[in-house]
Amino acid sequence: MKAILAFALLFSFCLRADDAPTEPARLKQLDAYWAEVSRAVGAGDFAAYEATCHPEGVLVAGSKKTSSPLADALKRWKKEFDATKSGEMKASVEFKFSQRLGDATTAHETGMFLYSAVGPDGKETHEYIHFEGLLVKRDGRWKILMEYQKSKGTQAEFEAL
């Protein structure tokens, strides 16, 4: 009887292990997540961008030494999404990573992003930001739970990643 119970437990553990994505598959899923974030920013697709965020998400701004609900930041950022969608401005974001940790349902991503924008006046801005993202996978979808914009960076640092 004990042997049957031990076999059943081992078998169910093996089934669960097979359900977990391999590391390359997990990174492919996360790459698709970041590609969707980039696409949403470039298209001014606020609803799609908001869908990449966990409803309880937190934004940490290292340079300002503040922490606030990501929902509050989304409210502030919406006007830029609307301006991008209408063609009034152009925006893009690109991500590069120095460390990617996680398992089947969690991810801690460290790296930099480059946010570029061209305003209605034609003025270009390029912001290189060191960041960390903490993501969770729920119902088959990755969502950012914490975005920590640590500090400003440089083009050289970004290119070195």
Classify domain 22-160 at the CATH topology level.
Nuclear Transport Factor 2; Chain: A, (3.10.450)
Q: Are 142 and 136 in contact (CB under 8 A)?
A: yes
Q: How confident is the model at residue 87 (pLDDT cuts 50, 70, 90)?
A: very high
Take residue 71 and report the two structure tokens written for it: 């929902």
Six-digit token string for 46: 């606020």
Q: Which two tokens stand for residue 36?
A: 């969707």
Task: Say how many CA atoms lie within 13 Å of 96 toward its Cβ.
Answer: 15
Quick: pLDDT tens for 122-151.
999 999 999 999 999 999 999 999 999 999
- Rg of the chain over Cα atoms, rounded to whole angstroms, equals 19
The β-bridge partners of 108 are 101, 134
What is the predicted pLDDT for the residue at 20?
A: 74
Instruction: Report pLDDT digits (tens) over 31-79.
Output: 999 999 999 999 999 999 999 999 999 999 999 999 999 999 999 999 9
Tokens linked to 58: 């937190």
Strand partners, 96: 112
Return d(Cα 77, Cα 126) in angstroms, integer. Answer: 16
Does the pTM exceed 0.75? yes
